[in-house]
Chain A
Amino acid sequence: MLKYTFDWSIVTSGKYFEWLVSGLKVTLELSAVGIVCAFLLGLLIAVLKMSHYRPVRWIATAYLEFFRNTPLLVQIFFWYFGSYKVLPTAVNEWLNSTNFEFAAAAIALTIYTSAFIAEDIRSGILSIPKEQMEAARSAGFSYLRSMQYIILPQAVRITIPPLVNQFLNLAKNSSLAMSIGVMELTYQARQVESYTFKGFEAFTAATVVYLGLSVVITALMDLYNKKVLNPHRA
């Protein structure tokens, strides 16, 4: 039996604590960018998918099926390594001089999650009786304006619980960015492990932080739901 002595001090103070904090910062940035962009993109795709024009619907469907049904890790590699083959040399050189690791991970997370969000929002829109759209159109609203003022505000409200799921998934999926060298929380936990061999402590700390992050996201969405969307309900 191997003796293992826990040493929590390495993850609560000093150099390794700072590594974890810097990792958390990147995870927060990645999650925030991803959540905002994925929501907006998902909204757009949902509306496209419900368009009256068949080709537009086809494009939206192809997008949804492709990005929902391929692994996120593959998509991250695709944007990071695969884009090199398609882009012109000058663009590649410019990308390589920037923090392209972060950008590629953010793009992959956004696009992947937006496909799921689009389907959630679409189901929200479909749950609004179609008479509302008809009423709005006969009251003189254009299709887009009816969406904007009548349908979407209600649909988004209904969509909040599944959206929270997608946001939580995105925050946790951001850990895959470490595979292309983005120094986020899981990456830093692994760094701490390889320097100190205190993997249990490092990953427990990371787990607690992810848990905290998820609880905060859930609480914020709850608050938004209660205070902004349904202020009159108990």
Chain B
Amino acid sequence: MKRLAAVVMGLALFGSFGKAMAAAPADTLAEVKKKGVLVAGVKDSLPPFGYVDEKSREIVGYDVDFVKAIAKKLGVKVELKPVTSASRMPQLTEGNIDIIAATMTKNPERAKQIGFSHTYFATGQKFITVKGKVKSLKDLEGKKIGTAKGSTSEQNVKAALPTATVLSFDDYPQAFLALQQGKVQAVTTDEAILAGILAKAPNKAKFEIPNVQISNEPYGLGMRKDDAKFIAFVNKTILEMEKSGEAKKIFEKWFGKGTDFQLKRTFKIVADK
């Protein structure tokens, strides 16, 4: 009986912590200007969106350049905080970061929790496999497929391949290691991320990205919902970047000719309908 009482007390204590949590500023725009710092959640192991540059030891990438442009427009400094697919939304809603620039796909479920900017990058979900093994989606039925936890990739692949076993790792490098060791038959996520993984792989000649696409993935910058002023400011900024050609320049810098990816820019930043 004593033990039960202790358990109940422990639970009550735990519950009271929950209430004290979640105090995020309502007007980020004013708050950021006051602090003089924009805290951005970015990926730190996902070239070319966000990764640690070997020479400068700093996080750089496509996402990072967008955040820097927004901070410049605000006249404040940037503080980069590494986040994972699973941690980025809680980090934002709890007020630890002001904006998410971490390869985040816009979807209706997420839009219920946070606010999205206009699409600043567009891609589609594909697979990396051993060369010649996969011609169509059928070849992956019933197979083990690796991806990262908390990502839309996981949900898309479960819908597209209900018979497959989806193994979710903490991040993509582990999923790719599992592919190299034959523990999974494919790694799935957005093509641009896959191209980044493949570009860095030591034995890239053994793998390929077959032309099998299971979804469209528009990326948006994530901000707190009900933070209309900040969202409007970010949208205005990235539309201006499109107009001035800066957005295209950032794309070419990370994905264009002369990079390992050689992707063509098939999208433009436009206002969402």
Contact surface of A with B, Cβ cutoff 8 Å: 1-2, 4, 80-81, 84, 92-93, 96, 100-101, 178-181, 187, 190-191, 193-197, 199-200, 204, 207-208, 211, 215, 218
Number of interface residues of B (CB under 8 A): 38
Q: Which of A84, A190, A218 contacts B181 (CB 8 A)?
A: A84
Q: Which of B11, B154, B183 contacts A194 (CB 8 A)?
A: B154
Whether B93 contacts A190 by the Cβ 8 Å rule is no
Whether B18 contacts A200 by the Cβ 8 Å rule is yes
In the complex, A193 Cα to B151 Cα: how many Å? 11
Whether B89 contacts A2 by the Cβ 8 Å rule is no
A-B contact pairs, 24 of them (CB 8 A): A1-B23, A1-B24, A1-B26, A2-B225, A4-B93, A80-B183, A81-B174, A93-B182, A96-B182, A178-B149, A181-B146, A181-B167, A187-B168, A193-B86, A193-B150, A194-B85, A194-B155, A195-B155, A197-B112, A197-B113, A199-B90, A200-B18, A208-B11, A215-B3
In chain B between 185 and 223, which residues have their CB closer than 8 angstroms to a CB of chain A?
A: none
- B208 shortest CB reach to chain A, Å: 20
- Report chain A residues within 8 Å CB of B174: 81
- Report chain A residues within 8 Å CB of B154: 194
Task: Knowing A2-B93, A197-B110, A211-B7 are in contact, say whether A100-B182 is a contact too (CB < 8 A).
Answer: no
- B168 shortest CB reach to chain A, Å: 6
Whether A179 contacts B169 by the Cβ 8 Å rule is yes
Q: Quick one: closest A residue to B185, CB to CB?
A: A96
- Report chain B residues within 8 Å CB of A197: 89, 109-110, 112-113
- Report chain B residues within 8 Å CB of A1: 22-24, 26
- Report chain B residues within 8 Å CB of A187: 149, 168
In the complex, A208 Cα to B15 Cα: how many Å? 11
Task: Check: B53 CB closer than 8 A to any chain A CB.
Answer: no
In the complex, A200 Cα to B17 Cα: how many Å? 11
Determine the main DSSP class of A at the interface with B: helix
- B202 shortest CB reach to chain A, Å: 14
In chain B between 138 and 157, which residues have their CB closer than 8 angstroms to a CB of chain A?
A: 146, 149-151, 154-155
In the complex, A100 Cα to B182 Cα: how many Å? 12
- B143 shortest CB reach to chain A, Å: 11
Task: Check: B170 CB closer than 8 A to any chain A CB.
Answer: yes
In the complex, A212 Cα to B5 Cα: how many Å? 13
In the complex, A93 Cα to B182 Cα: how many Å? 7
Whether A2 contacts B181 by the Cβ 8 Å rule is no
Q: Which of B151, B182, B225 contacts A92 (CB 8 A)?
A: B182
